[in-house]
Chain A
Protein backbone atom coordinates (compact mmCIF):
# COMPACT_ATOMS: atom_id res chain seq x y z
CA UNK A 1 0.00 0.00 0.00
CA UNK A 2 1.12 3.49 -0.82
CA UNK A 3 2.25 5.29 2.41
CA UNK A 4 0.17 8.34 1.45
CA UNK A 5 -2.93 6.16 1.32
CA UNK A 6 -2.25 4.86 4.82
CA UNK A 7 -1.68 8.35 6.24
CA UNK A 8 -4.77 9.64 4.44
CA UNK A 9 -6.92 6.71 5.61
CA UNK A 10 -6.04 7.31 9.28
CA UNK A 11 -6.64 11.06 8.96
CA UNK A 12 -9.97 10.51 7.22
CA UNK A 13 -10.97 8.06 9.96
CA UNK A 14 -10.34 10.79 12.56
CA UNK A 15 -12.21 13.38 10.53
CA UNK A 16 -15.17 11.00 10.07
CA UNK A 17 -15.35 10.43 13.84
CA UNK A 18 -15.15 14.17 14.36
CA UNK A 19 -17.77 14.83 11.69
CA UNK A 20 -20.21 12.59 13.55
CA UNK A 21 -19.52 13.56 17.17
CA UNK A 22 -18.03 17.08 16.76
CA UNK A 23 -16.87 17.04 20.38
CA UNK A 24 -13.29 18.19 19.70
CA UNK A 25 -14.23 20.99 17.33
CA UNK A 26 -17.07 22.33 19.44
CA UNK A 27 -15.17 22.31 22.74
CA UNK A 28 -11.87 23.57 21.30
CA UNK A 29 -13.36 26.33 19.19
CA UNK A 30 -15.51 27.56 22.05
CA UNK A 31 -12.47 27.51 24.32
CA UNK A 32 -10.34 29.49 21.84
CA UNK A 33 -13.06 32.12 21.39
CA UNK A 34 -13.32 32.33 25.17
CA UNK A 35 -9.55 32.91 25.55
CA UNK A 36 -9.61 35.69 22.95
CA UNK A 37 -12.55 37.35 24.66
CA UNK A 38 -11.25 37.02 28.23
CA UNK A 39 -7.86 38.49 27.28
CA UNK A 40 -9.66 41.49 25.79
CA UNK A 41 -11.20 42.14 29.21
CA UNK A 42 -7.87 41.48 30.94
CA UNK A 43 -6.04 44.08 28.82
CA UNK A 44 -8.71 46.75 29.24
CA UNK A 45 -10.78 48.71 26.73
CA UNK A 46 -8.07 50.87 25.08
CA UNK A 47 -8.23 49.91 21.43
CA UNK A 48 -4.63 50.91 20.63
CA UNK A 49 -3.30 48.66 23.40
CA UNK A 50 -5.56 45.82 22.32
CA UNK A 51 -4.46 46.11 18.71
CA UNK A 52 -0.85 45.83 19.83
CA UNK A 53 -1.60 42.76 21.94
CA UNK A 54 -3.69 41.02 19.27
CA UNK A 55 -0.98 38.77 17.72
CA UNK A 56 0.07 37.53 21.16
CA UNK A 57 -3.56 36.88 22.11
CA UNK A 58 -4.17 35.00 18.88
CA UNK A 59 -1.20 32.68 19.56
CA UNK A 60 -2.15 32.10 23.19
CA UNK A 61 -5.59 31.00 21.98
CA UNK A 62 -4.15 28.75 19.26
CA UNK A 63 -1.57 27.21 21.63
CA UNK A 64 -4.18 26.34 24.26
CA UNK A 65 -6.61 25.10 21.64
CA UNK A 66 -3.90 22.90 20.16
CA UNK A 67 -3.23 21.18 23.47
CA UNK A 68 -6.92 20.64 24.05
CA UNK A 69 -7.43 19.17 20.58
CA UNK A 70 -4.37 16.91 20.78
CA UNK A 71 -5.36 15.57 24.17
CA UNK A 72 -8.82 14.71 22.79
CA UNK A 73 -7.33 13.13 19.66
CA UNK A 74 -5.69 10.30 21.55
CA UNK A 75 -8.29 10.14 24.32
CA UNK A 76 -10.65 8.59 21.79
CA UNK A 77 -8.03 6.00 20.87
CA UNK A 78 -7.58 4.90 24.48
CA UNK A 79 -11.17 3.65 24.68
CA UNK A 80 -11.97 -0.03 24.09
CA UNK A 81 -8.40 -0.83 23.02
CA UNK A 82 -8.73 1.23 19.84
CA UNK A 83 -5.06 2.17 19.88
CA UNK A 84 -3.99 -1.48 20.21
CA UNK A 85 -6.14 -2.31 17.19
CA UNK A 86 -4.70 0.61 15.26
CA UNK A 87 -1.16 -0.53 16.08
CA UNK A 88 -1.96 -4.06 14.93
CA UNK A 89 -2.43 -2.91 11.35
CA UNK A 90 0.47 -4.21 9.27
CA UNK A 91 1.84 -0.74 8.54
CA UNK A 92 4.90 1.04 9.95
CA UNK A 93 4.03 2.87 13.17
CA UNK A 94 5.68 6.01 11.80
CA UNK A 95 2.83 6.26 9.30
CA UNK A 96 0.25 5.95 12.07
CA UNK A 97 1.81 8.99 13.73
CA UNK A 98 1.76 10.92 10.47
CA UNK A 99 -1.89 9.95 9.95
CA UNK A 100 -2.88 11.04 13.45
CA UNK A 101 -0.87 14.23 12.92
CA UNK A 102 -2.66 14.99 9.66
CA UNK A 103 -6.02 14.35 11.34
CA UNK A 104 -5.17 16.70 14.20
CA UNK A 105 -3.68 19.29 11.86
CA UNK A 106 -6.84 19.33 9.74
CA UNK A 107 -8.98 20.11 12.79
CA UNK A 108 -6.51 22.71 14.07
CA UNK A 109 -6.42 24.47 10.70
CA UNK A 110 -10.21 24.57 10.69
CA UNK A 111 -10.12 26.15 14.14
CA UNK A 112 -7.40 28.60 13.03
CA UNK A 113 -9.45 29.60 9.99
CA UNK A 114 -12.26 30.65 12.35
CA UNK A 115 -10.28 32.07 15.26
CA UNK A 116 -7.78 34.14 13.24
CA UNK A 117 -10.31 36.37 11.39
CA UNK A 118 -12.37 36.54 14.60
CA UNK A 119 -9.37 37.88 16.56
CA UNK A 120 -8.34 40.28 13.80
CA UNK A 121 -11.87 41.65 13.51
CA UNK A 122 -12.72 42.13 17.18
CA UNK A 123 -9.29 43.66 17.92
CA UNK A 124 -9.53 45.90 14.87
CA UNK A 125 -6.33 44.73 13.16
CA UNK A 126 -5.99 45.45 9.44
CA UNK A 127 -3.90 43.06 7.32
CA UNK A 128 -5.33 43.89 3.90
CA UNK A 129 -2.81 43.17 1.15
CA UNK A 130 -0.74 40.96 3.46
CA UNK A 131 -3.19 38.07 3.84
CA UNK A 132 -0.87 35.58 2.15
CA UNK A 133 2.23 35.93 4.39
CA UNK A 134 -0.09 36.16 7.42
CA UNK A 135 -1.82 32.94 6.38
CA UNK A 136 1.56 31.28 5.87
CA UNK A 137 2.70 32.29 9.38
CA UNK A 138 -0.51 30.88 10.88
CA UNK A 139 -0.16 27.67 8.86
CA UNK A 140 3.46 27.10 9.94
CA UNK A 141 2.75 27.96 13.57
CA UNK A 142 -0.30 25.68 13.81
CA UNK A 143 1.70 22.87 12.16
CA UNK A 144 4.48 23.28 14.75
CA UNK A 145 2.04 23.03 17.67
CA UNK A 146 0.33 20.07 16.04
CA UNK A 147 3.53 18.08 15.50
CA UNK A 148 4.63 18.37 19.12
CA UNK A 149 1.24 18.13 20.82
CA UNK A 150 0.12 15.05 18.82
CA UNK A 151 3.34 13.30 19.77
CA UNK A 152 3.23 14.18 23.47
CA UNK A 153 -0.43 13.23 23.55
CA UNK A 154 0.42 9.74 22.25
CA UNK A 155 3.21 9.48 24.80
CA UNK A 156 0.94 10.18 27.76
CA UNK A 157 -2.03 8.11 26.61
CA UNK A 158 -3.85 6.32 29.47
CA UNK A 159 -2.05 8.31 32.16
CA UNK A 160 -3.79 9.64 35.23
CA UNK A 161 -4.31 13.44 35.14
CA UNK A 162 -2.78 13.68 31.67
CA UNK A 163 -4.86 16.80 30.94
CA UNK A 164 -2.85 18.75 33.49
CA UNK A 165 0.39 17.06 32.52
CA UNK A 166 0.22 17.67 28.76
CA UNK A 167 0.79 21.45 28.93
CA UNK A 168 3.84 20.85 31.15
CA UNK A 169 5.30 18.55 28.50
CA UNK A 170 4.27 20.57 25.45
CA UNK A 171 4.90 24.22 26.33
CA UNK A 172 8.63 24.15 27.07
CA UNK A 173 9.18 22.37 23.74
CA UNK A 174 7.03 24.68 21.60
CA UNK A 175 8.43 27.96 22.93
CA UNK A 176 10.37 28.54 19.67
CA UNK A 177 7.08 28.20 17.76
CA UNK A 178 5.37 30.72 20.03
CA UNK A 179 8.25 33.19 19.75
CA UNK A 180 8.63 32.84 15.97
CA UNK A 181 4.88 32.93 15.22
CA UNK A 182 4.28 35.99 17.38
CA UNK A 183 7.33 37.76 15.91
CA UNK A 184 6.35 36.93 12.33
CA UNK A 185 2.72 38.00 12.75
CA UNK A 186 3.69 41.20 14.59
CA UNK A 187 6.12 41.96 11.76
CA UNK A 188 3.45 41.39 9.13
CA UNK A 189 0.82 43.46 10.93
CA UNK A 190 2.99 46.44 11.89
CA UNK A 191 5.27 46.35 8.81
CA UNK A 192 8.07 47.09 11.27
CA UNK A 193 11.30 46.92 9.22
CA UNK A 194 13.33 45.91 12.31
CA UNK A 195 11.50 42.55 12.41
CA UNK A 196 12.84 40.19 9.78
CA UNK A 197 9.62 38.27 9.02
CA UNK A 198 11.28 35.96 6.52
CA UNK A 199 13.87 34.62 8.96
CA UNK A 200 11.21 34.00 11.64
CA UNK A 201 9.20 32.05 9.08
CA UNK A 202 12.36 30.10 8.23
CA UNK A 203 12.85 29.32 11.93
CA UNK A 204 9.27 27.99 12.04
CA UNK A 205 9.88 25.87 8.97
CA UNK A 206 13.16 24.55 10.38
CA UNK A 207 11.57 23.75 13.75
CA UNK A 208 8.72 21.91 12.00
CA UNK A 209 11.08 19.83 9.89
CA UNK A 210 13.36 18.89 12.81
CA UNK A 211 10.46 17.94 15.06
CA UNK A 212 8.59 16.16 12.29
CA UNK A 213 11.62 13.90 11.78
CA UNK A 214 12.37 13.41 15.49
CA UNK A 215 8.75 12.73 16.49
CA UNK A 216 8.15 10.39 13.55
CA UNK A 217 11.26 8.36 14.38
CA UNK A 218 10.51 8.30 18.13
CA UNK A 219 6.80 7.48 17.79
CA UNK A 220 7.19 3.68 17.47
CA UNK A 221 9.02 3.72 20.83
CA UNK A 222 6.37 5.97 22.35
CA UNK A 223 3.48 3.59 21.71
CA UNK A 224 5.00 0.11 21.36
Chain B
Protein backbone atom coordinates (compact mmCIF):
# COMPACT_ATOMS: atom_id res chain seq x y z
CA UNK B 1 0.00 0.00 0.00
CA UNK B 2 2.78 2.39 0.98
CA UNK B 3 4.80 1.60 -2.12
CA UNK B 4 1.70 2.15 -4.23
CA UNK B 5 1.22 5.62 -2.75
CA UNK B 6 4.91 6.36 -3.23
CA UNK B 7 4.63 5.39 -6.86
CA UNK B 8 1.54 7.55 -7.30
CA UNK B 9 3.26 10.63 -5.87
CA UNK B 10 6.58 10.08 -7.64
CA UNK B 11 7.62 13.29 -9.47
CA UNK B 12 8.86 11.37 -12.51
CA UNK B 13 5.53 9.63 -13.08
CA UNK B 14 3.79 12.55 -14.83
CA UNK B 15 6.50 13.27 -17.45
CA UNK B 16 6.95 9.52 -17.92
CA UNK B 17 3.24 9.18 -18.72
CA UNK B 18 3.50 12.08 -21.16
CA UNK B 19 6.46 10.48 -22.91
CA UNK B 20 4.71 7.10 -22.98
CA UNK B 21 1.59 8.60 -24.57
CA UNK B 22 3.71 10.25 -27.28
CA UNK B 23 5.44 6.93 -27.98
CA UNK B 24 2.22 4.89 -28.05
CA UNK B 25 0.36 7.42 -30.23
CA UNK B 26 3.38 7.53 -32.59
CA UNK B 27 3.29 3.73 -32.87
CA UNK B 28 -0.43 3.97 -33.61
CA UNK B 29 0.19 6.60 -36.30
CA UNK B 30 2.95 4.45 -37.79
CA UNK B 31 0.55 1.51 -38.18
CA UNK B 32 -2.17 3.83 -39.44
CA UNK B 33 -0.09 5.44 -42.16
CA UNK B 34 1.75 2.34 -43.33
CA UNK B 35 -1.42 0.26 -43.65
CA UNK B 36 -2.96 -0.47 -47.02
CA UNK B 37 -5.60 2.10 -48.08
CA UNK B 38 -9.06 0.94 -47.13
CA UNK B 39 -11.11 -1.01 -49.67
CA UNK B 40 -14.16 1.24 -49.31
CA UNK B 41 -12.85 4.57 -48.08
CA UNK B 42 -9.27 4.65 -49.31
CA UNK B 43 -7.08 7.13 -47.46
CA UNK B 44 -10.00 8.49 -45.45
CA UNK B 45 -9.73 5.88 -42.71
CA UNK B 46 -6.33 7.25 -41.72
CA UNK B 47 -8.06 9.92 -39.65
CA UNK B 48 -9.99 7.35 -37.62
CA UNK B 49 -7.42 6.52 -34.91
CA UNK B 50 -7.13 10.25 -34.09
CA UNK B 51 -10.86 10.88 -34.38
CA UNK B 52 -12.00 7.87 -32.37
CA UNK B 53 -9.14 8.32 -29.88
CA UNK B 54 -10.13 11.93 -29.23
CA UNK B 55 -13.82 11.00 -28.93
CA UNK B 56 -13.06 8.16 -26.53
CA UNK B 57 -10.89 10.47 -24.45
CA UNK B 58 -13.66 13.07 -24.31
CA UNK B 59 -16.28 10.53 -23.21
CA UNK B 60 -13.89 9.17 -20.58
CA UNK B 61 -13.12 12.70 -19.37
CA UNK B 62 -16.80 13.70 -19.08
CA UNK B 63 -17.73 10.47 -17.33
CA UNK B 64 -14.95 10.96 -14.81
CA UNK B 65 -15.89 14.65 -14.38
CA UNK B 66 -19.18 13.44 -12.89
CA UNK B 67 -17.50 10.72 -10.82
CA UNK B 68 -14.94 13.18 -9.39
CA UNK B 69 -17.70 15.73 -8.77
CA UNK B 70 -19.78 13.19 -6.87
CA UNK B 71 -16.72 12.16 -4.86
CA UNK B 72 -16.14 15.82 -4.00
CA UNK B 73 -19.72 16.23 -2.75
CA UNK B 74 -19.28 13.17 -0.51
CA UNK B 75 -15.75 13.76 0.79
CA UNK B 76 -15.58 17.59 0.55
CA UNK B 77 -11.92 17.28 -0.35
CA UNK B 78 -10.82 19.94 -2.90
CA UNK B 79 -8.51 17.37 -4.45
CA UNK B 80 -11.55 15.85 -6.21
CA UNK B 81 -12.85 19.23 -7.34
CA UNK B 82 -9.51 20.01 -8.98
CA UNK B 83 -9.55 16.65 -10.75
CA UNK B 84 -13.17 17.18 -11.85
CA UNK B 85 -12.35 20.62 -13.28
CA UNK B 86 -9.22 19.29 -14.98
CA UNK B 87 -11.18 16.42 -16.47
CA UNK B 88 -13.92 18.69 -17.86
CA UNK B 89 -11.33 21.02 -19.43
CA UNK B 90 -9.56 18.09 -21.09
CA UNK B 91 -12.94 16.77 -22.27
CA UNK B 92 -13.83 20.10 -23.90
CA UNK B 93 -10.51 20.29 -25.76
CA UNK B 94 -10.77 16.75 -27.09
CA UNK B 95 -14.45 16.91 -27.98
CA UNK B 96 -13.63 19.95 -30.14
CA UNK B 97 -10.85 17.91 -31.76
CA UNK B 98 -13.32 15.05 -32.23
CA UNK B 99 -15.94 17.29 -33.87
CA UNK B 100 -13.31 18.94 -36.06
CA UNK B 101 -11.70 15.70 -37.24
CA UNK B 102 -15.16 14.19 -37.72
CA UNK B 103 -16.21 17.12 -39.90
CA UNK B 104 -13.05 16.76 -42.02
CA UNK B 105 -13.86 13.08 -42.51
CA UNK B 106 -17.56 13.73 -43.04
CA UNK B 107 -17.09 16.12 -45.98
CA UNK B 108 -15.62 13.50 -48.34
CA UNK B 109 -17.39 10.49 -46.79
CA UNK B 110 -20.91 11.86 -46.33
CA UNK B 111 -20.72 14.88 -48.61
CA UNK B 112 -21.27 17.33 -45.75
CA UNK B 113 -19.24 18.67 -42.84
CA UNK B 114 -22.24 18.44 -40.56
CA UNK B 115 -25.45 16.44 -40.52
CA UNK B 116 -28.33 17.25 -38.19
CA UNK B 117 -29.77 13.84 -38.93
CA UNK B 118 -27.01 12.01 -37.11
CA UNK B 119 -27.63 11.28 -33.45
CA UNK B 120 -24.01 11.09 -32.46
CA UNK B 121 -23.02 14.42 -34.03
CA UNK B 122 -25.94 16.23 -32.47
CA UNK B 123 -25.42 14.85 -28.98
CA UNK B 124 -21.69 15.49 -29.16
CA UNK B 125 -22.36 19.15 -29.95
CA UNK B 126 -24.82 19.31 -27.05
CA UNK B 127 -22.26 17.77 -24.69
CA UNK B 128 -19.74 20.41 -25.74
CA UNK B 129 -22.31 23.12 -24.91
CA UNK B 130 -23.06 21.66 -21.48
CA UNK B 131 -19.43 21.51 -20.44
CA UNK B 132 -18.52 24.90 -21.88
CA UNK B 133 -21.41 26.24 -19.77
CA UNK B 134 -19.99 24.47 -16.75
CA UNK B 135 -16.55 26.01 -17.30
CA UNK B 136 -18.17 29.45 -17.75
CA UNK B 137 -19.94 29.04 -14.42
CA UNK B 138 -16.67 27.99 -12.79
CA UNK B 139 -15.03 31.13 -14.08
CA UNK B 140 -17.71 33.31 -12.53
CA UNK B 141 -17.66 32.02 -8.95
CA UNK B 142 -14.85 33.29 -6.76
CA UNK B 143 -15.70 31.40 -3.59
CA UNK B 144 -13.81 28.08 -3.74
CA UNK B 145 -16.40 26.06 -1.85
CA UNK B 146 -19.35 27.28 -3.86
CA UNK B 147 -17.45 26.91 -7.14
CA UNK B 148 -16.63 23.29 -6.35
CA UNK B 149 -20.18 22.51 -5.22
CA UNK B 150 -21.96 24.15 -8.16
CA UNK B 151 -19.69 22.61 -10.80
CA UNK B 152 -20.03 19.17 -9.19
CA UNK B 153 -23.83 19.50 -9.36
CA UNK B 154 -23.72 20.64 -13.03
CA UNK B 155 -21.36 17.76 -13.86
CA UNK B 156 -23.70 15.20 -12.30
CA UNK B 157 -26.88 16.61 -13.89
CA UNK B 158 -25.09 16.74 -17.26
CA UNK B 159 -24.01 13.10 -17.03
CA UNK B 160 -27.65 12.09 -16.49
CA UNK B 161 -28.61 14.11 -19.56
CA UNK B 162 -26.16 12.59 -22.00
CA UNK B 163 -27.85 9.16 -22.36
CA UNK B 164 -31.33 10.76 -22.47
CA UNK B 165 -30.15 13.23 -25.09
CA UNK B 166 -28.57 10.47 -27.10
CA UNK B 167 -31.72 8.34 -27.08
CA UNK B 168 -34.08 11.19 -27.91
CA UNK B 169 -31.89 12.49 -30.74
CA UNK B 170 -31.50 8.94 -32.02
CA UNK B 171 -35.28 8.40 -32.13
CA UNK B 172 -35.71 11.82 -33.69
CA UNK B 173 -33.26 11.09 -36.49
CA UNK B 174 -34.56 7.60 -37.24
CA UNK B 175 -37.77 9.26 -38.38
CA UNK B 176 -35.86 11.40 -40.89
CA UNK B 177 -33.51 8.64 -42.01
CA UNK B 178 -30.44 10.12 -43.67
CA UNK B 179 -27.66 8.22 -45.42
CA UNK B 180 -25.17 7.77 -42.61
CA UNK B 181 -22.52 5.15 -42.33
CA UNK B 182 -23.13 2.69 -39.52
CA UNK B 183 -20.43 1.89 -37.00
CA UNK B 184 -20.72 -1.79 -37.83
CA UNK B 185 -19.82 -1.09 -41.45
CA UNK B 186 -16.87 1.03 -40.44
CA UNK B 187 -15.56 -1.68 -38.15
CA UNK B 188 -15.68 -4.34 -40.82
CA UNK B 189 -13.93 -1.98 -43.20
CA UNK B 190 -11.16 -1.51 -40.66
CA UNK B 191 -10.61 -5.23 -40.25
CA UNK B 192 -10.07 -5.54 -43.97
CA UNK B 193 -7.48 -2.83 -44.17
CA UNK B 194 -5.26 -3.55 -41.18
CA UNK B 195 -5.64 -0.04 -39.71
CA UNK B 196 -7.30 -1.86 -36.83
CA UNK B 197 -3.96 -2.28 -35.01
CA UNK B 198 -3.21 1.43 -35.28
CA UNK B 199 -6.74 2.12 -34.13
CA UNK B 200 -6.50 -0.06 -31.00
CA UNK B 201 -3.00 1.14 -30.09
CA UNK B 202 -4.31 4.67 -30.56
CA UNK B 203 -7.10 4.09 -28.02
CA UNK B 204 -4.48 2.96 -25.48
CA UNK B 205 -2.30 5.97 -26.33
CA UNK B 206 -5.15 8.45 -25.86
CA UNK B 207 -6.06 6.85 -22.53
CA UNK B 208 -2.48 7.33 -21.30
CA UNK B 209 -2.58 10.88 -22.67
CA UNK B 210 -5.72 11.53 -20.59
CA UNK B 211 -4.08 10.31 -17.38
CA UNK B 212 -1.02 12.45 -18.15
CA UNK B 213 -3.05 15.60 -18.85
CA UNK B 214 -5.24 15.00 -15.81
CA UNK B 215 -2.21 14.75 -13.54
CA UNK B 216 -0.56 17.76 -15.14
CA UNK B 217 -3.69 19.94 -14.89
CA UNK B 218 -4.42 18.70 -11.37
CA UNK B 219 -0.92 19.61 -10.21
CA UNK B 220 -1.24 23.04 -11.82
CA UNK B 221 -4.58 23.59 -10.09
CA UNK B 222 -3.04 22.57 -6.76
CA UNK B 223 -0.24 25.11 -7.24
CA UNK B 224 -2.79 27.79 -8.17
CA UNK B 225 -4.78 27.03 -5.02
CA UNK B 226 -1.62 27.20 -2.89
CA UNK B 227 -0.61 30.49 -4.51
CA UNK B 228 -4.02 32.01 -3.82
CA UNK B 229 -3.85 30.84 -0.22
CA UNK B 230 -0.35 32.27 0.12
CA UNK B 231 -1.37 35.63 -1.35
CA UNK B 232 -4.32 35.77 1.02
CA UNK B 233 -2.00 35.13 3.96
CA UNK B 234 0.37 37.87 2.81
CA UNK B 235 -2.50 40.29 2.43
CA UNK B 236 -3.78 39.48 5.89
CA UNK B 237 -0.30 40.03 7.30
CA UNK B 238 -0.09 43.37 5.46
CA UNK B 239 -3.43 44.45 6.92
CA UNK B 240 -2.31 43.46 10.40
CA UNK B 241 1.01 45.32 10.02
CA UNK B 242 -0.88 48.46 8.98
CA UNK B 243 -2.98 48.37 12.08
Contact = CB atoms under 8 A, between A and B. Distances in A.
Interface size grouping (class) on chain B: 20 to 34
A180 B167 CA distance: 11
Contact of B153 (A155, A175, A179): A155
B156 to A, nearest CB: 6
Contact of A179 (B127, B132, B169): B169
B77 interface: no
Interface stretch (A31-39, A109-117, A157-165): A157-165
B69 to A, nearest CB: 10
A176 interface: yes
B224 interface: no
B2 interface: no
Interface string B129-149: 110111011001100000001
A147 to B, nearest CB: 11
Nearest to A151: B157
Contacts of B169: 175-176, 179
A46 to B, nearest CB: 22
B168 interface: yes
A221 B171 CA distance: 33
Interface stretch (B83-91, B158-166, B197-205): B158-166
Nearest to B163: A210
Interface string A60-81: 0000000000000000000000
Contacts of A180: 168
Contacts of B127: 172
A169 interface: yes
B27 interface: no
A176 B129 contact: no
Contacts of A176: 164-165, 167-169
A203 interface: yes
A173 B141 CA distance: 21
Contact of B164 (A155, A207, A215, A222): A207
A168 B168 contact: no
Contact of A195 (B153, B168, B175): B175
Given A176-B164, A224-B149, A169 B133 contact: yes
Nearest to B168: A176
B161 A159 contact: no
A183 interface: yes
Given A159-B141, A179-B168, A179-B172, A172 B157 contact: no
Nearest to A168: B133
Contacts of B133: 165, 168-169, 172
Contact of A221 (B129, B137, B149): B149
B56 to A, nearest CB: 21
B211 interface: no
Contact of A183 (B73, B149, B167, B172): B172
A221 B153 contact: yes
A30 B120 CA distance: 37
A218 interface: yes
Contact of A218 (B137, B153, B161, B167): B153
B153 A173 contact: no
Contacts of A128: none
Contact of B154 (A160, A169, A175): A169
Contacts of B140: 159-161, 165
B150 A222 contact: yes
A8 interface: no
Contacts of A169: 130, 133-134, 137, 154
A175 B165 contact: yes
A194 B136 CA distance: 41
Interface in A168-224: 168-169, 171-173, 175-176, 179-180, 183, 194-195, 199, 203, 207, 210-211, 214-215, 218, 221-222, 224
A156 interface: yes
Contacts of A161: 140
Interface of A: 151, 155-156, 159-161, 165, 168-169, 171-173, 175-176, 179-180, 183, 194-195, 199, 203, 207, 210-211, 214-215, 218, 221-222, 224
15 contacts: A155-B137, A156-B137, A168-B129, A168-B133, A169-B133, A171-B129, A172-B129, A172-B130, A172-B161, A173-B157, A175-B165, A194-B175, A218-B153, A218-B157, A222-B149
